[in-house]
Amino acid sequence: MERNDVIDFKALEKELQDALAADEKYKRENAAKLRAVEQRVPSYEEFRSIVLASHLKPLERKDKMGGKRTVPWNCHSTQGQPSQDVATEISQEKVLFQPETSAEFYRDWRRHLQSGPERYQALLQLGGPKLGHLFQTDVGFGLLGELLMILNDHVRPADRMTVLGVLRSLAGTGRFTLNLSLLSHAEQEGCRGLFQKLQAMATPRSLQEGDGGLQEEEGLLQELLELYQIH
């Protein structure tokens, strides 16, 4: 090995930890989904609650409710609530959204992107191929509906092809059909509204004049209508 070839062990360790965390999260939520299906929970809300609480562990006898607690019992509930000094530092620093793993996406999506427009621009910035790579195993419980709602709220005619690309990549992720079936009523309406807007953004005159690019877009749109079960 040449002298200039230095291995960054800290970066490798962080990448390994992120990959392990993402894998553990996927297995935990997948097991919770299967348990909820076996229990035949009566509503989507109860199903969602079971999966979102999959990281929690039952209290044991040694756990005391009134004693001094140095570590929060539910670390997930305190995420996104930093101290005032840390919050000030984060707000002053412009964070570039460039996740390399699904774990990094979840973390930065919640921590740094607070508004709808910010999240919409982040999705456009990543684009379909990158999102498809990040979530090739599974989009993750609840996230598909959230992404569809963001796109529906902020889609613009100039972004039409990019949004279609994002939708195509999401449809190619693992367990897409299952995640689609678990959308809430509001998310289903948001998905339907998004496709109605995308259809309305087409230019009939351009189609009649034989615009090959637009015809390709329309072909992709028709394919996505089937994949997202929009009738």
pLDDT in tens, 174-195: 999 999 999 999 999 999 999 9
* Residue 173 near residue 135 (C-beta atoms within 8 A): yes
Phi and psi torsions of 13, nearest 5°: -65, -40
Per DSSP, which regions of the chain are E strands?
Answer: none
- How does residue 54 score in pLDDT terms, banded at 50, 70 and 90? low
DSSP state of 133: H
b/e code 174-205 from CB counts within 10 Å (16+ = b): ebbeebbebbeeebbebbbbbbebbeebeeee
Question: Token pair of 45, please?
Answer: 């809300």
- Given a cut of 90, whether residue 168 has pLDDT beyond it is yes
Q: Name which residue leads in pLDDT, 164 or 74.
A: 164
Q: Comparing C-alpha atoms, which of 183, 191, 189, 215 is closest to residue 202?
A: 215
Q: What pLDDT score does 47 carry?
A: 64
Residue 27 to residue 66: CA distance in whole angstroms: 33
* Residue 51 near residue 141 (C-beta atoms within 8 A): yes
Question: Token pair of 32, please?
Answer: 């919770």
Cβ-proximal residues to 218 (8 Å cutoff; 6+ apart), any chain: 202, 207
Least confident of 82-91, 129-138, 193-202, 206-215: 82-91
Question: Token pair of 51, please?
Answer: 């999966």
* Residue 191 near residue 183 (C-beta atoms within 8 A): yes
- State pLDDT tens for residues 5-43: 567 777 777 777 877 777 777 777 777 777 767 666 666
CB neighbours of residue 143 within 10 Å: 17
* Residue 179 near residue 194 (C-beta atoms within 8 A): no
Q: Comparing C-alpha atoms, which of 201, 203, 217, 187 is closest to residue 228?
A: 187
- Given a cut of 90, whether residue 133 has pLDDT beyond it is yes
Phi and psi torsions of 79, nearest 5°: -65, 140
Q: What pLDDT score does 91 carry?
A: 40
- State pLDDT tens for residues 87-97: 434 343 445 68
What pTM, to 2 d.p., does this model score?
0.58
Residue 56 to residue 54: CA distance in whole angstroms: 6
As a whole number, the mean pLDDT across the chain is 77
Residue 123 to residue 145: CA distance in whole angstroms: 14
Q: What average pLDDT does range 79-92 have in this prediction?
A: 44
Residue type, 22: A
- Given a cut of 80, whether residue 146 has pLDDT beyond it is yes
Residue tagged 């004693």 (tokens) = 67
